[in-house]
Amino acid sequence: MTTALTAVHPTVAGAFIALLIALAIFSTLWWMLHPPASFVQKLAKEAESELERMVGSIIVVFSPDILSTHMMALAAKLARGERSELLAVYIVEVPYTLPPDAEMPIEEREALDALGAAETIATNNGVSLRTETIKARSTKQAVLDLAKREKANLIILGSFREGKYTGAPLGRSIEEIAADAKCDVLIGVEGKHGTLLYEEPTP
Partner 1 sequence: MSKDQKPELRRSVTPWGSFSWGYSDVGADIFVGLGLVLGAAAGASNVAFLFAGIVYICIGLAYTELAATYPVAGGGQYFVLRGLGDIFGFIAGWAVLLDFTIDIALFAWSCVDYLSELLPMVSSSGHPWAHFILTIGLIVGLCVLNVIGVRESTAFNGFVSALDIVSETAILTLGFLFAFSPHLLVHTMQTSWPSPFEFMKGISLAIVSFVGLESISQAAEETQRPASIIPRTSVALILTILIFALSYSNLALGMHTWHPIPLDANGHAQFFWQYLGNTENNGKAVALIAKQVPYWGAIAAFYVPVLGAILLLISSNSGVFGSSRIAYAMSSGRLLPSIFQRVHPKFRTPTVSLMVFTGVAVIEVVFAALPSLNPAMATLYAQHFNGESGIDFLGDLYAFGAATSYSFVFVALVALRLFDPLSPRKFKIPLNIPLKFRGERAEFPLIAVIGFIGIVAILVFTMITHPIGRIAGPLWIVFGILLYFVYRKRKGLPVLRSSKRDWRTEQTEILRRAGELELMDEYLENLKASEQRRAEANA
Strand partners, 188: 158
- Residue 83's nearest CA partner among 29, 128, 20 is 128
For the bound state, the minimum distance from the C-beta of residue 202 to partner 1, rounded and expressed in Å, comes to 18
8 near partner 1, judged by CB under 8 A: yes
Secondary structure letter of residue 103 according to DSSP: -
> Could you tell me which stretch among 29-37, 59-67, 71-79, 180-188 binds partner 1 (CB under 8 A)?
29-37
Residues in binding contact with partner 1, number by CB under 8 A: 31
Q: Based on CB atoms, which residue is closest to partner 1, 23 or 112?
A: 23
Strand partners, 63: 66
> Could you tell me which stretch among 15-23, 82-90, 128-136, 191-199 binds partner 1 (CB under 8 A)?
15-23
Q: Based on CB atoms, which residue is closest to partner 1, 14 or 116?
A: 14
- Residue ranges of E strands in the chain: 57-62, 85-93, 130-136, 154-159, 184-189
Q: Which helix (H) or strand (E) segment is 74 a member of?
A: helix 69-82
Of positions 13, 106, 196, 197, contacts partner 1 by CB under 8 A: 13
Q: Sign (positive/negative) of CA torsion 110, 115, 118, 119? A: negative
Q: Determine the distance from the C-alpha atom of residue 146 to the mean position of all C-alpha atoms in its chain, rounded to a whole number.
A: 17
47 near partner 1, judged by CB under 8 A: no
Q: Which residues in this chain contact partner 1 in the complex, by CB under 8 A?
A: 1-6, 8-11, 13-15, 17-19, 21-22, 24-25, 28-29, 31-33, 35-36, 38-41
